Structure 1
Amino acid sequence: MVASAVAAAAAATASASPLAAARTGAARGALACVVYVSEGRRMDVLKAIESVALSKRITTKPNDMKTKRDDDDETYNNNAVKLVKTFIDEPYNRTGFTFAVRTDDDFDDAVNGGDNSALVVLDGKAKNERRKKKVSRLIANRVHEVATSAFMEIGSFKKHSATHPRLGIVDHVSVHPIGTCDMDAAKEAARAVGRRFGDELGVNAYMYGHATMVKGGDDGIGGEASANSAREKDTESNRERRELAEIRRKLGYFSANGENETWVGASDVYDRMQKWEVKPDFGSSEKSDVEEKGVCCVGAVPFVVNYNVPMVCELSDESQEKLALDLGKQIAKRVSQRNEIDGLPNVQSMALMRTTTTPSTPSPSRQNNKMEIEIACNLLDETSSTTRIQVQKKIEELMPELLVENVLRGVKLNGASCQIGQGYVTNLQPQDFLDAVSSTSSDDAAS
């Protein structure tokens, strides 16, 4: 009886679709992509952008663009790219739209509705290359749609302000391989996004991480030149990968230009672009484009954990606000990997004020004599390097130590006190992406 049950179960598993096999433990892979836009307070605007992010459509290459050898001329389902999270951060006036598309053997089921007869004749390498090309196009299509909506709905970058730094209306697009997905797929997708930003939206895009362009050769600005640029060669051999923090530092991302530690309008981004010897990899570099849309950083990197640790300070008067913010900045500086003495490896950090009011309001993050600051941390490699537990412990240890150091330097606390709260993660974790894309059924894919 038991043997029959086992045999029946085995037969059922053997006859099940590849998608079902993935759910029962087969190797899974996904490509994750996060699109950060500079809006977090106007719910009507965010709802309009999200409706585009959620849209389902079938895409077919126009007949006049097809060729006999074009392996992308069949109809495929754009819904294979799923919106798996929308994180609206009202205090920072910023929102992250997170997408995922599966990249394992069940990708073709999700896209083609289970009809993979055309793939039978392809060997493993050819199939993977075809899949990588299609994934790249799917991600680029979805990001392009969301970005187009964001530029239309949000309006001019000149009018934007926040207590979180940003460089553009669509500020940042990061692509991450998850599970069995390889970095090449992420690199191709990121470059496809950057290319379409420059060629079709007139947005200046700087590539970073594994998507970094090779220095020298074609300047990568606009049109066909960017699509066939010599700068699109691999950077693996010469180790010229550009870091996101480097781009941001050069363009003034970390330097608030408004009152109460706020970022207002396009600031001097264009002027900084002219002083920096590195041109954007895609886009026009026109001043009007930069002032209206800003610039965007687009990259392919291993998964990054966004971990924020709150710091709440009890203040006796407004004069102590600078003291509290300075303390937060000191903590962030000590935690960061840039601190060569005792900084944490693969951790980037900065102190930010949280606010739900407009920057013109005095003391935007202080209510009832309490001021909230966050130590915002990027954990670049939590798997084999610094973990969020270590970050939390380090910050908790630094607080009393730095308070004493400030007193010894003559800083008067006048009864002010600060406490460190429990940190939280703002983005999904790798397993969440795999679960999200695996929940797509063949019926969903065909809808």
Structure 2
Amino acid sequence: MRKAMMLTCCKLYISESQNALALESIEQAAKRYPEAVIINKFKDEDYNRVGYTLVSNSSTNLSIDALPLRNAVFSMVKSAFEGIDLNLHSGTHPRLGVVDHICFHPLAQASLDEVAVLAKSAAADIGSKLQVPTFLYGAAHGEGRTLDYIRRELGYFKPNAAGNQWSGALNSEFLLLKPDEGPSLLTQSKGVVTIGATKWVDNYNVPVCSTDIEVVMRIARKVSGRGGGLKSVQAMGLMHGNDSAEVACNLLDPGRVGADQVQIEVERLASEEGVTVEKGYFTDFSQEKVTELYLKSIEAD
């Protein structure tokens, strides 16, 4: 039975960590579709952000519109928009909307093309039914547009408040990019959504013992592939709390460039800047662990 399974995973990031009632409502919305299991919840109070990891078995005879993972994600997104107002949000992690980012990943026997169809279907629903500008990337986009391209075009990486904070709604209701789904004008209380389909991505953050954000940003830039550092690594230098910072990394090909290499390189670059770092941490389980936990959960049921 395990060999026949086509497991699909979705990582969904909500711009909120302090509104317990809203988060409970979001999680209850997912539980309406018990075949889609929440495997991990990572809440970061300083970033004011929560990440959820869901997994479901897509090897069924159901149509794309009836797949539990797709419907669980839509239900969570709808609940998030009902309970959270971007105008009231503030944190030290960049974001473009109440539901900042959704990404689908293939696990087990699933293919990238299959999760791309799932991502595009979810985007169509969110754009039309919830009237939120929605942008596609990765395998879900016809030209393979990248997530960081969308984010740069929409000003994602530029803090809009003192203390390197992102606070309140986006600066304008007019978007510099045309959405793939939904209206061209955004609602300030909701923002926009980015939805993609990619191979597995590890998220690994390295705490830096410095409050000099310029130093931390330099380290992040040099460790990233874009800055001439480690290939397949994206990195941001962010404040994390009032008296610390970190280099937050996306490892786009963790089998090739993993957390150990990132840790060593950040330590080397930090030493050149005269600062020290702590041991980094993952914000989610590995894809192998996610699969294992899902299989255990359905066996228990």
**Bigger mean CA deviation after superposition, 145-154 or 41-50:** 41-50
The residue type paired with residue 162 of structure 2 is: E
1:181 paired to 2:110: yes
Could you tell me how far 1:402 is from its partner in structure 2? 2.5
Q: Structure 1 residue aligned with 2:260, among 383, 389, 402?
A: 389
Equivalences, count: 301
Letter in 2 for 1:346: S
Deviation per CA, 1:70-93, whole angstroms, max 9, x where unpaired?
Answer: xxxxxxxx3221111111111100
Cα shift at 1:442: 7.5
Measured after TM superposition, the shift of residue 243 of structure 1 is 0.3
Match of 1:36 in 2: 13
Q: Percent identity?
A: 34
1:435 is displaced (CA, Å) by 1.5
Distance 1:380 1:136 in 2: 30
Q: What does the per-residue CA deviation read over 1:262-293, in whole Å, with 9 as the maximum and x for residues that have no partner?
A: 0111232534x1xx3x4100111224x2x121
Instruction: Tell whether the 8 Å contact from 1:30 to 1:437 is kept in structure 2 after alignment.
Output: no
Post-superposition shift, 1:140? 2.0
Show the counterpart of 1:349: 235
1:246 Cα deviation from its structure 2 partner: 0.3
Letter in 2 for 1:141: N
Deviations 1:192-237 (A, max 9, x none): 110001110011100000001xxxxxxxxxxxxxxxxxxxxxx3xx
Q: Does 1:335 align with 2:223?
A: yes
Question: 1:9 matched to which residue of 2?
Answer: none
1:281 paired residue number: 180
- The offset of 1:436, in angstroms, is 2.7
The residue type paired with residue 351 of structure 1 is G
- Amino acid paired to 1:374: E
Q: Which has the higher helix share?
A: 1
User: 2:235 and 2:226 mapped to 1: Cα distance?
Assistant: 9
| CA pair 333-441 structure 1, distance change in 2 beyond 3 A | closer
Render the CA deviation track for 1:92-128: whole Å, top value 9, x for unaligned.
000112110124xxx44xxxxxxxxxxxxxxxxxxxx
Structure number with greater Rg is 1
| Aligned equivalent of 1:227 | none
**How has the CA–CA distance of structure 1 residues 330 and 28 changed in structure 2, closer, same or farther, with 3 Å as cutoff?**
same
Contact 2:9 2:54 in 1 (8 A): yes
Equivalent position SS for 1:189? helix
Match among 190, 201, 212 for residue 130 of structure 2: 201
Choose from 213, 218, 229 the match for 1:325.
Answer: 213
Q: Distance in 2 between matches of 1:86 and 1:247?
A: 25
Distance 1:269 1:254, change over 3 A: farther
Aligned to 1:270: 173
Q: Which runs of 5+ in 2 are unaligned?
A: none
| Pairs within 5 Å for 1:40-439 | 40-55=17-32, 78-103=33-58, 107-108=59-60, 130=61, 133-134=63-64, 137-154=67-84, 156-212=85-141, 235=142, 240-271=143-174, 273=175, 276=176, 278-287=177-186, 289=187, 291-313=188-210, 321=211, 324-340=212-228, 343-355=229-241, 365=242, 371-383=243-255, 385-403=256-274, 418-439=275-296
- Please tell me the residue identity of whatever aligns with 1:195: A
Partners of 1:195 and 1:269 in 2: CA distance: 23
Counterpart CA distance in 1 for 2:283 and 2:198 is 18
Q: Tell me how large the CA RMSD over aligned residues is.
A: 1.9
How far apart are the structure 2 equivalents of 1:184 and 1:135?
16
Moved over 3 A (4+): 26-29, 133-137, 440-444
Q: Output the TM-score relative to the length of structure 2.
A: 0.94
> Contact conserved, 1:252 with 1:268, CA < 8 A, in 2?
no
Q: In structure 2, what is the equivalent of residue 63 of structure 1?
A: none
What is the Cα deviation at residue 134 of structure 1? 4.0
The 2-side partners of 1:177 and 1:325 are apart by 36
CA contact (8 A) 1:31 1:178 kept: yes
Separation (CA, whole Å) in 1 of partners of 2:153 and 2:239? 22
**Normalising by the residue count of structure 1, what TM-score does the alignment of the two structures yield?**
0.64
Provide the C-alpha distance between the structure 2 equivalents of 1:420 and 1:199, rounded to a whole number of angstroms. Answer: 45
Local SS of the residue matching 1:100: strand
Equivalent-residue separation in structure 2 for 1:180 and 1:312 (angstroms)? 42
- Give the 3-state SS of the residue equivalent to 2:164 in structure 1: coil
CA distance in 1, matches of 2:236, 2:221: 7
